[in-house]
Amino acid sequence: MTISEKAAYLKGLMDGLNLDTEKAEGKMISAIVDLLGDVTKRLHDVEETTIAISDELDEIEEDLDAIEDFILDEDDEDWEEDDDDDYDFEDWDDDDEDEDYEEGFDFGDEDSIIYEVKCGVCGEVINFDEETLMKGSIKCPKCGELLEFDGEEDDEEELAF
């Protein structure tokens, strides 16, 4: 029997006993049964909230795992060691990263590309998603300048602004 079922049973038992709620004992038993009903309702609300929070935390954990996997995969590619386990830092070329640059960031999901634009007025770097790109404009959060773009890429794989 659940707590709500027990509270309902006690209320029914009290009603079935035909207690006189005008006398002190009847008033006290009636108040206790009402209190149990209220506590049961609150407990049920807390249980529902706990389940909802738990579900949200599970989703957040899955998202963080995906981000972690993406970052770790990228780090593994950048820091592969030689066969003799000696890494020569002189071989590292900072220009290699520029050659591999793609427009936006991809977290393993084709739909989650983040684009970046620099405000021509204040120099603020603004990140936005494809949905904002399709809208055609975004306001700079720093200076309020309206930045418009058409979403088409030119020959250098940069957005036209």
**Which of 37, 61, 57 has its CA nearest to residue 49?**
57
Is the separation of the CB atoms in 117 and 159 below 8 Å?
yes
Dihedrals phi, psi of 82, to nearest 5 degrees: -70, 170
User: Which pTM value belongs to this model?
Assistant: 0.39
Map out the domains of the chain as residue ranges.
3-78, 104-161
Give DSSP secondary structure letters for 21-74: TTSHHHHHHHHHHHHHHHHHHHHHHHHHHHHHHHHHHHHHHHHHHHHHHHHHHH
What would the mean pLDDT of 66-82 be, rounded to a whole number? 73
The 10s digit of each residue's pLDDT in 135-157 is: 888 888 899 888 887 755 543 34
- Vertex 91: Cα angle to 86 and 93 (nearest 5): 140
Tell me the helices (H) and strands (E) count for the chain, helix number first: 4, 4
